[in-house]
A and B are shown apart, each in its own frame.
Chain A
Amino acid sequence: MISFENVSKTYPGQERPALRNMSLEIERGEFVFVIGSSGSGKSTFMRLILREERPTTGRVIVAGKDLSRLSNWKLPHHRRLIGTVFQDFRLLPNKTVFQNVAFALEVIGKPKSHLNKVVPEVIDLVGLGGKEDRLPNELSGGEQQRVAVARAFVNRPMVLIADEPTGNLDPETSVGIMKLLDRINRTGTTVVMVTHDQAIVNQMRKRVLELDQGTLVRDQARGVYGYVR
């Protein structure tokens, strides 16, 4: 699903590369944690998958397409295959839960009939059934993140990328979100999750990719957060 072939990325004006000669493969349907300290290259990794950045060397291949070969007008189509969830939720504050989730479908031109069928389904899936007309500031942090997950998932993307989704949430709520992501993963969606959350990583025992100063130092199936040095 996602392949990195000898990928290096140095931001212009910087001496130290953000990513150093990284090669890995993520199969379809996998659940992958990406961990590492600040500045280890986790965000760069995500941005390369979304093609917000291009690798300095090497190739990034997502869903069979070489991203460096992707023309600018095909880029939106690529992004529709990827759902994103962020630490700060990134909801539109003046739109209701329903409208926020529907936004993802509206802007890619889906008809209203489709919207009205699919959006309530996915809102139920994330456990917010009955709260469609609430505004984000009327929801708890956990609920807002659920809306974000719903929005990311409503288009049934092939990959779901979560950038520290539990970063602003308490441990109990975080578990709820993780259960949700796990459920989504079981429908066949590849999930790539960047996180600092030790407890979650240790609990779920999924594949762990550890980055340290731009290099992939550990790739462990059923891994834990801490590592044996």
Chain B
Amino acid sequence: MRIQYVLQEIGHGLRRNLTMVIAVIVSTAVALTMLGAGLLMLEQTKAMQGFWYGKVEVAVYMCNKNDVDHSPNCSSVVTAAQRQAIDDQLTHKTPYVQKVQEETQAEAFQHYEQAYGSTALGQTATEQDMEDNFRVKLSDPSKYQVVQDAVGNMQGVASVVDEQQLLQPLFTFIHIAEYSAGGVAIVMLVLAFLLIFNTVRLSAFSRRRETGIMRLVGASNFYIQMPFLLEGAVAGLLGGALASAVLIAIKAFFIDGIVAPHLSSIQFIGWRPFVFIIPLLLVVGILMSVAASVFTLRKYLRV
């Protein structure tokens, strides 16, 4: 196999259909940008979920030094006796309770730092700012009220919070965004596929003299198809690279530059997801282009 010949042919092919090749690259890039954006949003959801989401449903926060005189049941920081009474009430006297887990101030602080350590808020928090709390898992999640009724008025209880309700709207919003990005990605991938189809068809037609002679002279099928496949792969690779660049720019300039400073309480994704998302985009770009090319050649290139 002559590398030089093949490279020459790719160069000629790309130049001959330059406008169409550019169209392929751009549409592939848009499709992959959407795909990457969807994946990044998935990562963002994970980053924001924190430690407890999905594991528990209701949290009973007990008084810490910040709650004293600010909450009705907090005349002092929660005492051991009060804590015991609340635990007892939850575990033995409240219906629908499946599991009660205590998270001490120290543990709460640890989990908080894990989830929010890099935000502005996270960096100023101390252990004393955390509230000792009981995490309650209910056998029927809709019965949050039961916990409120059981311990809401007990001494030492600062607040009873349905964690799910708190986080739900935010996650709903993100899921909508994810699905939208996914939908756009699919539409764009179909569009990119059609563009590649057309480009390869045009390319094959304009090279029919050469491919005809190559066939007669006994060039192997693979050798005849390879310039087209490589053209497709190069276009797909460039599309993937373009998509990656756009996503990196969004992260660097938009998220880190504009959004994060304004939303200090939300932990935004770091650079780590990019380590696997970028190679994924490049690979998907190449594979999709090559697959589309093979499909088209099978139809239009007589071998």
State the Cβ distance, A126 to closest chain B Cβ, in Å: 17
Determine which of A50, A72, A111 lies in contact with B216 in the assembled complex, contact meaning CB atoms within 8 Å. A50
Contacts of A50 in B (CB 8 A): 216
**Pairwise interchain contact A109-B223, C-beta atoms closer than 8 A:** yes
Bitwise, A76-114 to B at CB < 8 A (1) or not (0) is 111111101000001010000000000110111101100
How far, in angstroms, from A106 to B220 measured CA to CA in the complex? 12
- Interface size, chain B (Cβ < 8 Å): 18
**Pairwise interchain contact B219-A107, C-beta atoms closer than 8 A:** yes
The answer to the question of B80 belonging to the interface, with a C-beta cut-off of 8 Å to chain A, is: no
B303 (CB) vs chain A CBs: closest residue: A72
Within 8 A of B (CB), among A137-166: 151, 155
The answer to the question of B93 belonging to the interface, with a C-beta cut-off of 8 Å to chain A, is: no
**Pairwise interchain contact B223-A79, C-beta atoms closer than 8 A:** no
Contacts of A103 in B (CB 8 A): 213, 217
Contacts of A111 in B (CB 8 A): 2
Scoring B2, B210, B221, B224 by chain A CB atoms within 10 A of each residue's CB, the highest score goes to B2
**Pairwise interchain contact B221-A106, C-beta atoms closer than 8 A:** no
**Pairwise interchain contact A76-B218, C-beta atoms closer than 8 A:** yes
Within 8 A of A (CB), among B205-242: 209-210, 212-221, 223-224
**Pairwise interchain contact A108-B213, C-beta atoms closer than 8 A:** no
**Pairwise interchain contact A92-B213, C-beta atoms closer than 8 A:** yes
The answer to the question of B275 belonging to the interface, with a C-beta cut-off of 8 Å to chain A, is: no
How far, in angstroms, from A73 to B224 measured CA to CA in the complex? 12
Contacts of B224 in A (CB 8 A): 107
**Pairwise interchain contact B2-A106, C-beta atoms closer than 8 A:** yes
**Pairwise interchain contact B2-A78, C-beta atoms closer than 8 A:** no
How far, in angstroms, from A72 to B221 measured CA to CA in the complex? 9
**Pairwise interchain contact A80-B210, C-beta atoms closer than 8 A:** no
**Pairwise interchain contact B221-A107, C-beta atoms closer than 8 A:** no
How far, in angstroms, from A76 to B219 measured CA to CA in the complex? 6
The answer to the question of B1 belonging to the interface, with a C-beta cut-off of 8 Å to chain A, is: yes
How far, in angstroms, from A80 to B1 measured CA to CA in the complex? 16
Contacts of A84 in B (CB 8 A): 216
Prevailing SS type, chain B contact patch: helix
The answer to the question of B5 belonging to the interface, with a C-beta cut-off of 8 Å to chain A, is: yes
Say yes or no: A80-B213 contact (C-beta < 8 A), given A106-B5, A107-B223, A109-B2.
no
B210 (CB) vs chain A CBs: closest residue: A92
Contacts of B209 in A (CB 8 A): 90, 92
Bitwise, B1-41 to A at CB < 8 A (1) or not (0) is 11001000000000000000000000000000000000000
How far, in angstroms, from A84 to B2 measured CA to CA in the complex? 23
Say yes or no: A78-B218 contact (C-beta < 8 A), given A92-B210, A109-B1.
yes
**Pairwise interchain contact B217-A104, C-beta atoms closer than 8 A:** yes
**Pairwise interchain contact B218-A108, C-beta atoms closer than 8 A:** yes
**Pairwise interchain contact B2-A79, C-beta atoms closer than 8 A:** no
Within 8 A of A (CB), among B156-176: none
Within 8 A of A (CB), among B277-303: 303
Contacts of A72 in B (CB 8 A): 221, 303
How far, in angstroms, from A173 to B105 measured CA to CA in the complex? 103
State the Cβ distance, B215 to closest chain A Cβ, in Å: 7
Within 8 A of A (CB), among B99-146: none
State the Cβ distance, A14 to closest chain B Cβ, in Å: 20
How far, in angstroms, from A36 to B85 measured CA to CA in the complex? 111
Scoring B210, B217, B223 by chain A CB atoms within 10 A of each residue's CB, the highest score goes to B217
Contacts of B215 in A (CB 8 A): 76, 79
B1 (CB) vs chain A CBs: closest residue: A109
A154 (CB) vs chain B CBs: closest residue: B217
State the Cβ distance, B196 to closest chain A Cβ, in Å: 25
Contacts of B223 in A (CB 8 A): 107-109
How far, in angstroms, from A104 to B2 measured CA to CA in the complex? 13
State the Cβ distance, B9 to closest chain A Cβ, in Å: 10
Contacts of A109 in B (CB 8 A): 1-2, 223
Say yes or no: A80-B217 contact (C-beta < 8 A), given A92-B209, A106-B2, A109-B1.
yes
List residues of chain A with CB under 8 Å of any chain B CB: 50, 72-73, 76-82, 84, 90, 92, 103-104, 106-109, 111-112, 151, 155
List residues of chain B with CB under 8 Å of any chain A CB: 1-2, 5, 209-210, 212-221, 223-224, 303
List 18 other contacts, CB 8 Å, given A72-B221, A90-B209, A112-B2.
A72-B303, A73-B221, A76-B218, A76-B219, A76-B221, A77-B218, A79-B218, A80-B217, A92-B210, A92-B213, A104-B213, A104-B217, A107-B214, A107-B217, A108-B220, A109-B2, A155-B217, A155-B218
